[in-house]
Chains A and B, each alone.
Chain A
């Protein structure tokens, strides 16, 4: 045979040579289809968190004291069986792990797609035809997942610095008084705009992510398939309405630190005592 080097046009060279299979369950992570499962599963977890967080925050409309009570209840999760804040930390670590896996899966699969595309006169991972490509089925949400994702991550850091760690100068942060922190933070117009933009990105992300999840997990039954888009849109819409209500209503003056009876106590313990008293009297009067 006169054959020398195999012609890559005839014998294609893998662009991502297969690695030795890792032991179960790590082998699931080795494949992109497996990672999409993990992305979908962590997506469900994170979606659950977003929904719970949004519902919890609605306590803000019950007034500063109830919001304080809710915050304390989170720390008291596990009742008297598990030491205070332990279960909350478990949940937090779980969330962090889910975020980590979700992002790692997203990044690595995106990287794979970039490699699969960049050899074809393509720039920057996003495949584009020099003559222009006409998109038909994909939508704004699906094509911007890799932008809405990082926006959400940046926002998350900002949000934690703002309302969990109290690092930012625009609020005089009082640990234990979320109403105060929230209303002063969102009362600042630029901050409110950041929240609005980020939550719109979050809703867009969820609009595609929640539908995509069904595909990635292979949840498919002709009887219910038509509902999948609706579920995704409904979830995204609810979360959008709930989360946008906070900055908008703060700017509108509905949420206002002037209505916070404990606003003058900037020390965490004094502030907490103030709320305990109010809650105790409220409890009696009922």
Chain B
């Protein structure tokens, strides 16, 4: 235990959104028990000691739930392990002598702030355009007034598990945000509480998504990259709801 491994890192360095970037090479020596981000912390401490600029990257909770960390590691969003965010990746996944390439998440709408940190504010814009149920504080009925079938609640939860990290966009060859948007839409569309705004929500969020991101060609890379393993099924549901939203006679949507 506590074996140390030596690694060569190729890290993308970019001074600002409008600067051109480059790869820089660093050596790292780190315990197998360290996490990937702790390895970067260590590299940074070394850089600071040498009076060199540390690598800028973002992270927060470091337990795979806040969605702040990103990174393309050896060409895979959040690294090689399925169902994990970068912060959950541990160095024992790698071997002594490995060469690791570290890049930021890339898409036109994920402009690079510095080095490995990107802005994912476009995802918030999608959410703001309809990712809510309009229920003002205090106007909610009793929580058990509307029963929700367990299967529907579980399915909605599967969608709601999305942590908004943007790995789906990064991994997508088309820079499409379908998996994110579909997860956010279907979380609410699958619940009885989400029905009144179902059609307008779907239209607004999809239309906003398309202002920023590419189109889905059903590669499925997003699902593989997703740290919460969100299913592609939600994309199918979203597609169905979107065209339905165009066709539906909404004056009758109060009927069952």
Contacts and interface: CB of A to CB of B under 8 A. Distances in A.
A215 interface: yes
Interface stretch (A58-66, A120-128, A153-161, A163-171): A120-128
Contact of A12 (B75, B102, B125, B224): B125
Contact of A133 (B75, B107, B207, B239): B75
Contacts of A11: 121
B241 A218 contact: yes
Interface stretch (A21-29, A43-51, A257-265): A21-29
A245 interface: no
Given A18-B211, A218-B238, A119 B108 contact: yes
The secondary-structure label for the interface of chain A is loop
Interface residues of B, number: 61
B218 A215 contact: yes
B206 A33 contact: yes
Interface stretch (B38-46, B86-94, B130-138, B170-178): B170-178
Given A9-B17, A217-B240, A220-B233, A116 B174 contact: yes
Interface string A1-21: 000000011111011111000
B13 to A, nearest CB: 12
Interface string A117-143: 111111000110111111111100011
Given A12-B212, A17-B211, A117-B174, A129 B106 contact: yes
A121 B21 contact: yes
B175 A120 contact: yes
B76 interface: yes
B17 A117 contact: no
A251 interface: no
Interface in B198-256: 206-208, 210-221, 223-225, 232-233, 235-243, 246
B222 to A, nearest CB: 8
B236 A145 contact: no
Task: Determine which residue in A11, A31, A109, A120 has the highest number of CB atoms from chain B within 10 A of its CB, and name it.
Answer: A120
A137 B119 contact: no
B80 to A, nearest CB: 8
Given A10-B119, A113-B176, A120 B238 contact: no
Contact of B214 (A28, A116, A214, A222): A116
Interface in A69-90: none
Task: Determine which residue in A9, A33, A119 has the highest number of CB atoms from chain B within 10 A of its CB, and name it.
Answer: A33
A131 B75 contact: yes
B243 A32 contact: no
26 contacts: A9-B121, A12-B119, A14-B212, A31-B210, A32-B210, A33-B242, A37-B243, A113-B175, A113-B215, A117-B107, A120-B106, A126-B173, A130-B12, A131-B101, A133-B173, A142-B220, A212-B218, A215-B236, A216-B218, A217-B236, A218-B236, A218-B237, A218-B241, A220-B236, A220-B237, A225-B233
Interface of B: 10, 12, 17, 21, 23, 72, 74-76, 80, 101-103, 106-113, 119, 121-122, 125, 171-176, 206-208, 210-221, 223-225, 232-233, 235-243, 246
